[in-house]
Protein backbone atom coordinates (compact mmCIF):
# COMPACT_ATOMS: atom_id res chain seq x y z
CA UNK A 1 0.00 0.00 0.00
CA UNK A 2 1.57 3.28 -1.10
CA UNK A 3 1.18 6.63 0.68
CA UNK A 4 -1.81 7.76 -1.39
CA UNK A 5 -3.60 4.46 -0.70
CA UNK A 6 -2.86 4.74 3.02
CA UNK A 7 -4.26 8.28 3.13
CA UNK A 8 -7.40 7.17 1.28
CA UNK A 9 -7.78 4.22 3.64
CA UNK A 10 -7.65 6.54 6.67
CA UNK A 11 -9.98 9.05 5.01
CA UNK A 12 -12.50 6.27 4.35
CA UNK A 13 -12.41 5.30 8.03
CA UNK A 14 -13.20 8.89 9.02
CA UNK A 15 -16.04 9.02 6.50
CA UNK A 16 -17.43 5.78 7.93
CA UNK A 17 -17.36 7.30 11.43
CA UNK A 18 -19.24 10.29 10.05
CA UNK A 19 -21.99 7.99 8.75
CA UNK A 20 -22.43 6.41 12.19
CA UNK A 21 -22.55 9.65 14.16
CA UNK A 22 -24.76 11.24 11.48
CA UNK A 23 -27.27 8.48 12.17
CA UNK A 24 -27.31 9.46 15.85
CA UNK A 25 -27.91 13.11 14.99
CA UNK A 26 -30.64 12.24 12.50
CA UNK A 27 -32.41 9.99 15.02
CA UNK A 28 -32.20 12.42 17.94
CA UNK A 29 -33.25 15.43 15.88
CA UNK A 30 -35.86 13.40 13.93
CA UNK A 31 -34.30 14.69 10.72
CA UNK A 32 -35.53 12.57 7.81
CA UNK A 33 -33.07 13.95 5.29
CA UNK A 34 -30.06 13.22 7.45
CA UNK A 35 -31.37 9.70 8.07
CA UNK A 36 -31.93 9.19 4.33
CA UNK A 37 -28.28 10.09 3.74
CA UNK A 38 -27.09 7.33 6.11
CA UNK A 39 -28.61 4.28 4.37
CA UNK A 40 -28.52 3.04 0.78
CA UNK A 41 -32.01 2.75 -0.78
CA UNK A 42 -31.67 -1.07 -0.75
CA UNK A 43 -30.45 -1.19 2.86
CA UNK A 44 -32.02 -3.28 5.62
CA UNK A 45 -32.09 -2.71 9.38
CA UNK A 46 -32.72 -5.31 12.10
CA UNK A 47 -33.11 -3.08 15.14
CA UNK A 48 -34.37 -5.71 17.55
CA UNK A 49 -37.76 -4.08 18.04
CA UNK A 50 -38.06 -3.70 14.26
CA UNK A 51 -36.75 -5.60 11.24
CA UNK A 52 -37.22 -4.56 7.63
CA UNK A 53 -35.99 -2.17 4.98
CA UNK A 54 -34.14 0.97 6.03
CA UNK A 55 -36.92 3.07 4.49
CA UNK A 56 -39.47 1.30 6.71
CA UNK A 57 -37.20 1.64 9.74
CA UNK A 58 -36.90 5.40 9.25
CA UNK A 59 -40.70 5.69 9.25
CA UNK A 60 -40.80 3.52 12.39
CA UNK A 61 -38.21 5.72 14.09
CA UNK A 62 -39.89 9.01 13.18
CA UNK A 63 -43.30 7.74 14.30
CA UNK A 64 -41.75 6.69 17.63
CA UNK A 65 -40.09 10.07 18.05
CA UNK A 66 -43.51 11.75 17.95
CA UNK A 67 -44.45 10.17 21.28
CA UNK A 68 -41.11 10.79 22.98
CA UNK A 69 -40.05 14.01 24.66
CA UNK A 70 -36.38 13.41 24.00
CA UNK A 71 -33.84 10.93 22.64
CA UNK A 72 -30.06 10.85 22.88
CA UNK A 73 -27.77 8.31 21.23
CA UNK A 74 -24.09 8.23 22.23
CA UNK A 75 -21.49 6.22 20.29
CA UNK A 76 -18.33 4.95 21.99
CA UNK A 77 -15.88 2.28 20.85
CA UNK A 78 -15.79 1.78 17.09
CA UNK A 79 -14.07 -1.19 15.45
CA UNK A 80 -13.72 -0.70 11.69
CA UNK A 81 -12.33 -3.02 9.02
CA UNK A 82 -12.49 -1.54 5.54
CA UNK A 83 -11.16 -1.98 2.04
CA UNK A 84 -11.73 0.26 -0.97
CA UNK A 85 -15.50 -0.28 -1.27
CA UNK A 86 -16.70 -2.39 1.68
CA UNK A 87 -16.50 -2.05 5.45
CA UNK A 88 -17.59 -3.79 8.64
CA UNK A 89 -18.10 -1.59 11.68
CA UNK A 90 -19.05 -2.45 15.27
CA UNK A 91 -20.10 0.64 17.26
CA UNK A 92 -20.95 0.55 20.96
CA UNK A 93 -23.91 2.78 21.85
CA UNK A 94 -25.96 4.01 24.79
CA UNK A 95 -29.45 5.29 24.04
CA UNK A 96 -31.69 7.39 26.28
CA UNK A 97 -35.42 7.73 25.55
CA UNK A 98 -37.89 9.85 27.52
CA UNK A 99 -41.24 8.26 26.78
CA UNK A 100 -44.84 8.64 27.93
CA UNK A 101 -47.07 6.06 29.60
CA UNK A 102 -50.83 5.64 29.12
CA UNK A 103 -51.45 8.39 31.68
CA UNK A 104 -49.17 10.73 29.67
CA UNK A 105 -46.57 10.67 32.45
CA UNK A 106 -42.89 10.69 31.44
CA UNK A 107 -40.63 7.72 32.11
CA UNK A 108 -37.07 6.89 31.09
CA UNK A 109 -35.90 3.96 29.00
CA UNK A 110 -32.17 3.37 28.53
CA UNK A 111 -30.28 0.72 26.59
CA UNK A 112 -26.72 -0.16 25.70
CA UNK A 113 -25.58 -2.29 22.81
CA UNK A 114 -23.77 -2.37 19.50
CA UNK A 115 -24.53 -1.41 15.93
CA UNK A 116 -23.15 -4.10 13.60
CA UNK A 117 -22.95 -2.42 10.20
CA UNK A 118 -22.04 -3.52 6.71
CA UNK A 119 -21.24 -0.43 4.67
CA UNK A 120 -20.60 0.08 0.97
CA UNK A 121 -18.90 2.86 -0.93
CA UNK A 122 -20.74 3.77 -4.13
CA UNK A 123 -19.72 6.64 -6.41
CA UNK A 124 -17.36 7.86 -3.70
CA UNK A 125 -19.97 7.84 -0.92
CA UNK A 126 -20.19 5.56 2.13
CA UNK A 127 -23.55 4.45 3.51
CA UNK A 128 -24.97 1.57 5.54
CA UNK A 129 -26.20 -1.43 3.55
CA UNK A 130 -27.03 -3.77 6.43
CA UNK A 131 -27.44 -2.96 10.12
CA UNK A 132 -28.05 -5.37 12.97
CA UNK A 133 -28.47 -4.12 16.53
CA UNK A 134 -27.32 -6.21 19.51
CA UNK A 135 -28.53 -5.19 22.98
CA UNK A 136 -26.13 -5.83 25.86
CA UNK A 137 -28.38 -4.29 28.53
CA UNK A 138 -31.53 -2.21 28.96
CA UNK A 139 -33.53 -0.68 31.78
CA UNK A 140 -36.96 0.95 32.14
CA UNK A 141 -37.43 3.42 35.01
CA UNK A 142 -40.82 4.15 36.51
CA UNK A 143 -40.46 7.91 36.26
CA UNK A 144 -38.33 10.71 34.88
CA UNK A 145 -36.79 13.96 36.10
CA UNK A 146 -38.66 17.26 36.13
CA UNK A 147 -36.83 19.48 33.67
CA UNK A 148 -39.18 22.45 33.99
CA UNK A 149 -37.20 24.09 36.82
CA UNK A 150 -33.88 24.02 34.96
CA UNK A 151 -30.54 23.03 36.53
CA UNK A 152 -30.46 24.16 40.18
CA UNK A 153 -33.24 26.58 39.33
CA UNK A 154 -31.42 28.08 36.33
CA UNK A 155 -33.24 27.72 32.99
CA UNK A 156 -31.18 25.99 30.28
CA UNK A 157 -31.58 25.42 26.57
CA UNK A 158 -33.09 22.02 25.93
CA UNK A 159 -32.64 19.96 22.80
CA UNK A 160 -35.37 20.03 20.17
CA UNK A 161 -36.23 18.39 16.86
CA UNK A 162 -35.20 19.75 13.48
CA UNK A 163 -35.68 22.55 12.49
CA UNK A 164 -35.99 23.97 16.02
CA UNK A 165 -32.73 22.75 17.57
CA UNK A 166 -29.77 25.10 17.99
CA UNK A 167 -27.66 22.74 15.85
CA UNK A 168 -29.79 23.76 12.87
CA UNK A 169 -28.27 27.22 13.19
CA UNK A 170 -24.78 25.87 13.90
CA UNK A 171 -24.51 23.81 10.73
CA UNK A 172 -25.01 25.63 7.46
CA UNK A 173 -27.66 23.87 5.44
CA UNK A 174 -26.17 22.65 2.18
CA UNK A 175 -27.70 20.67 -0.69
CA UNK A 176 -26.80 17.01 -0.94
CA UNK A 177 -24.91 15.94 -4.05
CA UNK A 178 -27.00 14.93 -7.05
CA UNK A 179 -26.75 11.18 -6.41
CA UNK A 180 -28.04 11.46 -2.84
CA UNK A 181 -31.78 10.94 -3.13
CA UNK A 182 -34.28 10.10 -0.45
CA UNK A 183 -36.30 6.91 -0.49
CA UNK A 184 -39.05 8.60 -2.49
CA UNK A 185 -36.55 9.21 -5.30
CA UNK A 186 -36.50 12.96 -4.65
CA UNK A 187 -33.23 14.89 -4.49
CA UNK A 188 -32.58 16.27 -1.02
CA UNK A 189 -32.21 20.02 -1.07
CA UNK A 190 -31.34 20.95 2.50
CA UNK A 191 -30.14 19.82 5.89
CA UNK A 192 -27.08 17.67 5.57
CA UNK A 193 -24.16 17.54 7.94
CA UNK A 194 -22.20 15.63 5.30
CA UNK A 195 -21.48 18.65 3.11
CA UNK A 196 -17.72 19.08 3.65
CA UNK A 197 -17.18 15.33 3.80
CA UNK A 198 -19.11 14.82 0.57
CA UNK A 199 -16.70 17.21 -1.14
CA UNK A 200 -13.75 15.14 0.05
CA UNK A 201 -15.35 11.88 -1.03
CA UNK A 202 -15.90 13.03 -4.59
CA UNK A 203 -12.43 14.47 -5.20
pLDDT in tens, 184-202: 455 444 454 644 355 455 4
Q: Looking at 98-191, list the stretches that DSSP marks H as alpha helix, in order from N- to C-terminal side.
A: 167-170
Structure letter (DSSP) for residue 117: E
Structure letter (DSSP) for residue 19: H
3-class DSSP string for the chain: CCHHHHHHHHHHHHHHHHHHHHHHHHHHCCCHHHHHCCEEEEEEEECCCCEEEHHHHHHHHHHHHCCCCEEEEEEEEEEEEECCCEEEEEEEEEEEEEEECCCCCEEEEEEEEEEEEEEEEECCEEEEEEEEEEEEEEEECCCCCCCCCCECCECCCCCCCCCCCCHHHHCCCCCCCCCCECCCCCECCCCCCCHHHHHHHCC
Class in CATH terms, 3-201: alpha beta
Residue 35's φ and ψ, nearest 5 degrees, are -65, -40
Q: What is the pLDDT of residues 90-111, one digit of tens each?
A: 999 999 999 999 899 999 999 9
How do the domains of the chain map onto residue ranges?
A: 3-201
Q: Which comes out higher in pLDDT, residue 150 or 198? A: 150
Count the neighbouring beta carbons within 10 Å of the beta carbon of residue 27: 21
Does an H or E element contain 18, and which?
Answer: helix 3-28
The answer to whether the CB of 65 falls within 8 A of the CB of 29 is no
pTM, full prediction = 0.86
Q: What is the pLDDT of residue 201?
A: 54
Q: What is the pLDDT of residues 14-33, one digit of tens each?
A: 999 999 999 999 999 999 99
Q: What is the pLDDT of residue 195?
A: 41
Please give the biggest Cα pair distance in the chain.
63
Amino acid sequence: MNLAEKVQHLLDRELIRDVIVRYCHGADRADRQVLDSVYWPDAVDDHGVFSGSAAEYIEFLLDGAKVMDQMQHLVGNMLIRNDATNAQCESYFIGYHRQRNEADEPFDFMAGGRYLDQLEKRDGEWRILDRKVVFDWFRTLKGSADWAEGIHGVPVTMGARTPHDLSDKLFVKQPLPEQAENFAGETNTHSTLAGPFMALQND
